[in-house]
Structure 1
Amino acid sequence: MSEMMTGGCQCGRVRYEAEIDSDDAYFCHCRMCQKATGGFAAAFVQVEPGKLNWLGEPDWYESSPIAKRPFCSSCGTPLGFQFKDGGGKPDLTLGSFDDPSRFKPVIHAGAESIHEAFLDTRDLPRMYSATTESVAKRWKAVGREVPE
């Protein structure tokens, strides 16, 4: 089912709306995506060409001879991936959506660089920000509740 969804960077300077036709998301484990996001993988949602509208224009980084990546130069949020030749489907970072809960991963791309230890973490203890004293007390000190 097609749905108009919104998202953007952490500081709010760069915003987008995208018509999303699928619940599919994917992980890219290639070293460029690891470096671009600082994580073990990038989580992306592909958008059909012509169905992405930037409401606040992102900055762009040419991350390789074939690709460029939108980001916010004010807060540093990585926002996606696009081939420089304009072909293919643009990708948006899963975490940049205002509500990413719809999406489910369907494939691992860039599998040559997978860090296997990070794939199945369900048995690790879970800490919640609101009950982590070092985090919660700092939010309280600035007069705010811990954000979700």
Structure 2
Amino acid sequence: MKALEGGCLCGNIRFRAEGVPGFPHTCSCRMCQRHTGALTAAWVEYPREAVTWTGPGGAPATWRSSERSSRAFCPVCGSSLGAIDDAPVVALLTGAFDKPHLLPLKPQSHSYKASRPKWWHPEVTA
């Protein structure tokens, strides 16, 4: 698969992700909800070396969100971009991709269903 590109709302932070995205999923945990402002976040993962920060702002700003991960965002416009884990993984929010509709980004599972409101029923089908 060729590289996929994306970035923040203002264009200050841009990325290029090489290869096939891994673990395409949605998550409704409270951390994801607060990070994105949405009831459910959609994510894919890449090895750290597969992601290049290409925009004029370089790498995104980060905030340490847990013992093993930092949330990534644009320091100019505040757009959430994903998470940079201590393990060599960069998890990118699919909404930050230029073409979020592409099939390799389609979620295959949903995490933390119990954290979502009972009226929220995201459909995830293989």
**Structure 1: how far apart are the matches of 2:19 and 2:111?**
20
Deviations 1:41-80 (A, max 9, x none): 1111111331011112211111223320110011110000
Q: Alignment partner for residue 69 of structure 2, among 56, 67, 70? A: 67
Equivalence for 1:91? 91
Establish whether residue 107 from structure 1 lines up as the match of residue 106 from structure 2.
no
Equivalence for 2:26? 27
For the 8 Å contact 1:49–1:90, the answer to whether it is kept is yes
- Unaligned 5+ runs, structure 1: 122-148
Percent identical residues = 34
TM-score where L is the length of structure 1: 0.71
Q: Decide which structure has greater strand share.
A: 2
Whichever residue aligns with residue 4 of structure 1, its letter is A
Q: Decide which structure has greater helix share.
A: 1
TM-score where L is the length of structure 2: 0.83
**Structure 2: how far apart are the matches of 1:73 and 1:100?**
22
For the 8 Å contact 1:70–1:80, the answer to whether it is kept is yes
Larger relative CO (CA 8 A, sep 6+): 1 or 2? 2
Establish whether residue 54 from structure 1 lines up as the match of residue 53 from structure 2.
yes
For the 8 Å contact 2:26–2:41, the answer to whether it is kept is yes
For the 8 Å contact 1:24–1:104, the answer to whether it is kept is no
Deviations 1:98-125 (A, max 9, x none): 111112110111233133422258xxxx
User: Larger Rg: 1 or 2?
Assistant: 1
**Structure 1: how far apart are the matches of 2:11 and 2:68?**
28
Q: May I ask how many residue pairs the two structures share in their alignment?
A: 118
For the 8 Å contact 2:22–2:46, the answer to whether it is kept is no
